[in-house]
Every structure is written in structure tokens, then in C-alpha cells.
Amino acid sequence: MQIFSEIYGAYYRIVSRLAEMGRVTDRDVQRVIEAEGSRETVLFLPQRILPQKDGSDWGLFVRQADGTLVPVMRQTPHRLTTLQRRWLCGIAHDPRIGLFLDDAAVERLRASLADVTPLVPEDHIRWIDRYNNGDAFTDPAYRAHFAALLAAMRAQELVSVTYQSRTGAKLRCLFLPLAFQFSEKDDRFRVLAVRYRKGRLQSCWVLNMALIAAVEPTGRHVSPPPLDQVFEERRCREPAVVRVSMERNGADRFLMEFASYEKQTDRDLATGDCLVKLWYDAQDETEVLIRLLRFGPVLEILGPPSLRAQAVERVRRQTALLEEERPNET
């Protein structure tokens, strides 16, 4: 089983897509390559698909009298390899599968994959720091809420959501759900949704799926804002600026841990320290602060002042607590 194989590659997929279209024009070829390939695919692939006078093309498409192209093959079936079926077998036994398929469909899926084993057997992998209070993915109410929100996203429909806030208060608001967000660390789903109030879409909320008590369709449809726009609005105003030293392999650990963030890194060649600007979702500021503090004295938060002030306050409280305790052993 090869994971890095041309049969899963972009070139094969583009040829397959064009063949499925039947008769295509040169413009179609260009368009499909642009949609399915990388930025430079258009420089390399067209001349292998379009018939060339010197025969240097693959010969899989033939030019017709009217200038269009037709494939030499009649069918390009989408058969699954063993690698793909084993991956499917893994998701068929994941507790989250019931969020997407009803019980009968789950059984049909499992039955169709009964002759293969999951690509990653459960006991071959161990999540060392995943939180132990993940969502109850198989709970019937949770599944119903998930299905209702997913349907609303596809239909671009406003839904009335009853939500339990952190303080325990129940809120009932109109939302346009935009996307699901899954966290491996938390083992839970959240929903990005724009609140609808006074006849228009307003701020974006992030709702914990586990705290949703009810979802009701309204039959009212609204065009969603682009996700990029939503993220831009949620982005921190100023990036965190941190200095990370080489001590205890700090720079390496930091750069790996924060590889999932938008960032800009520079390095002081004299000391080896890394100076990093880090952009994050403003709502996640506390999480970012906690993650930065995990590095201890090998990392210093330089700015912005508001973020540094929070670190200063926590360190001040820590110092006071330790002085209060006065441990014998230091």
C-alpha cells in the first residue's frame, strides 16, 4: 500500500475529470487544471493532455473536426484501493460517524468494509494529552442538534438555538451557522455561527456543541458572510510578540507547538534567540497566554502591553503564593 502514489495524484484526477465531461474544449482543460492543480500545473499539464503534432502528448484525448476533444476511454470508474477502504473502515467505527450517517447507513457502511481492518487500529495510537471530558458524540440529542445545524448550514437557514452559557443561564437566539470546528485536544465540536438580531447578521459566536440544548429551524434563509471575513473580524488587533531562547531546546519546542498559527519568525544570530510575531483569534487570548506560560523562563512575552500585563499579573500572584507558603525545600 503506497500513500505517495500517482494514482491519488492531481494529474490523474484532472484527466479523469476531463474524461467524465466527455467532449471538452481547450478552455475546459485550462479551467479544470486551474481548479484541481497547483499554481504551476497549468505550465506542465496541458501539453500532455492536448494532442501535439510531435506525439508528445499521452494520447488519451483525440481532437475532433470541430476542435473539441474527446477521451479515448469510455469510463473512468472511481474504484477504491485497499488503502482507501481501510481508511474508510477506520471512520466507520469512529464514534463520530453517527453525526453524519443514520444507524442503518452506518451498518451498511461497516458491512461493505467487513473484509478490511482499520488503517490505524485503536490500540496502535495513544493521545497523551487529550482532555478527558470530550463530547458525547453518540448521545441522541447531540446527534439531532448536529444534524439540524448541518442541514441549516447547507440550506443557509437561520435556526433558533437554545444555549446554556458557562454561568448556567439559558439563552435563546437566532443564528446562522457557518461551520463546525473540531478540536483534537478538547475532543469536541464547536459551531461558528453569526447571530441574527434586529433584522441583520451581527457578531460571530463560537458555540460549544455540548452546551446546545435545542436547535429549531425557522424557514428563513440568509446569505452567509465569507468565512475569511469572519476570521478577519475575530483576529487579534496586534500580534503577540515573544522572544524564545535556545535553552532547553525552547525555540524548537515553541516553533513546533505554534506551527499551527500564523506567525513571523526572525532569529538573532548572535544569541540564537527567536523573535516571533504570532496572530491568533482574539477570543482565544487566554488559551494563548497559558500556552506561552508553559515555556517558563525560556520564553518572554514582549507585547502587546495588554498580553504582557496578564503574564505580569499571573507571575506576581505566583510569587506571592510561593512566598506565603515558604517551602522548606527550594
Residue (of 62, 57, 54, 38) closest to 46 by Cα position: 57
198/223 with CB nearer another protein: 223
115/199 with CB nearer another protein: 115
Tell me phi and psi for residue 249, to 5 degrees: 60, 30
What's the closest the beta carbon of residue 284 comes to another protein, in angstroms?
A: 9
Q: In this structure, are residues 176 and 197 in contact, taking their beta carbons and an 8 Å threshold?
A: no
Between CA 255 and CA 252 the distance in angstroms is: 5
16/68 with CB nearer another protein: 16
What's the closest the beta carbon of residue 268 comes to another protein, in angstroms?
A: 10
102/139 with CB nearer another protein: 102
What's the closest the beta carbon of residue 198 comes to another protein, in angstroms?
A: 26
Q: Give residue 120's identity as a one-letter amino acid code.
A: V
What's the closest the beta carbon of residue 286 comes to another protein, in angstroms?
A: 9
What's the closest the beta carbon of residue 60 comes to another protein, in angstroms?
A: 6
7/65 with CB nearer another protein: 7
222/302 with CB nearer another protein: 302
Between CA 221 and CA 233 the distance in angstroms is: 23
Between CA 40 and CA 267 the distance in angstroms is: 31
198/237 with CB nearer another protein: 237
Residue (of 278, 280, 311) closest to 294 by Cα position: 311
Residue 234 grid coordinates: 475575530
b/e map 275-290, b = 16+ CB within 10 Å = ebbbbbeeeeeeebbe
What's the closest the beta carbon of residue 213 comes to another protein, in angstroms?
A: 19
What's the closest the beta carbon of residue 247 comes to another protein, in angstroms?
A: 10
CB-based contacts of 219, cutoff 8 Å, min separation 6: 157
Between CA 187 and CA 185 the distance in angstroms is: 6
